[in-house]
Amino acid sequence: MDLPRVVFFGRTGADALAFFNLDLADWRGHRVLDCPGGPGSFTALARAAGVESVAADPLYTLSLPELERRCRDDVAFTMERLALSPTLRPDFDQDRFRQGKMEALEAFLADRREHPQAYRAAALPCLPFEAASFDLVLSGHLLFCYAPIADGGLSEQPDFDLDWHRRALAELLRVSRQEVRIYPAHTIERHPRVHPWVEPLLAGLPPGWQGQLEPTTYDEGFEGETPMLRLRRHIAPSPSGPEAH
């Protein structure tokens, strides 16, 4: 599938647990960042499970009615594109997929109304957070996914090139004390491959970090493996690390 812009489209918290291979019980008492949060319900689900979560997205500057309108428009637009997509398995249940986005939106709007402080307007590659201020940092459906089409992503725009990915990954690592998980780490094709930028990004990790691909069982209509990239600090961050941008 191809898209002309980044869509304001969000998955449910349950979807996020599946594609990040995440068990919230492991993170109780810890701080989690979900960037981009989009109109997704991960932060609401995490809080309900006793995990402090902050969602960050550039569109969180918009009002609730604007966010809702933007999401509904983008879901309709994306579903039109998806229906024509050669990357989609014919048996994939598109109605169920769309329904999940609507459920995520409802939960997102309710949670954001009740806990506005958990939703921060911010854009990669410069986040307004202190170094190592989250234990776990999650990033779904932006890196790799929105690489240009020629590079294995779905974007018709050139903006999220390899240099942008290097800077975005460095920023996700900077704000994390322990782990960063990124999904997808594969190309957007009917038969996905590991995204070609995984290797250069792993080769350029800062000291103290190690990364590996992990298989997931999340089904978004592809045929074949759909890995997640998991990065772990094996050396604790220094207390005088780099400051927030």
Residues in touch with ligand SAM (CB under 6 A) = 6-11, 35-36, 38, 40, 57-59, 123-124, 140-142
236 versus 244: smaller Cβ distance to ligand SAM: 244
Element (H, E) at 45: helix 42-48
Query: What's the min distance (Å) between Cβ of 239 and ligand SAM?
Result: 27
What is the rounded distance in angstroms from the CA atom of residue 11 to the CA atom of residue 16?
7
What is the rounded distance in angstroms from the CA atom of residue 42 to the CA atom of residue 108?
8
Residue 13, CB half-sphere, CA atoms under 13 Å: how many? 18
29 versus 130: smaller Cβ distance to ligand SAM: 130
Q: List residues bridging with 182 in a β-sheet.
A: 139, 229
Q: Nearest 5 degrees, angle CA 137-CA 139-CA 145? A: 160
Query: What's the min distance (Å) between Cβ of 185 and ligand SAM?
Result: 13
Q: Is 230:211 a contact under the CB 8 Å cutoff? A: yes
Query: What's the min distance (Å) between Cβ of 26 and ligand SAM?
Result: 20
Residue nearest to ligand SAM (CB): 38
132 versus 142: smaller Cβ distance to ligand SAM: 142
142 versus 175: smaller Cβ distance to ligand SAM: 142
Query: What's the min distance (Å) between Cβ of 13 and ligand SAM?
Result: 10
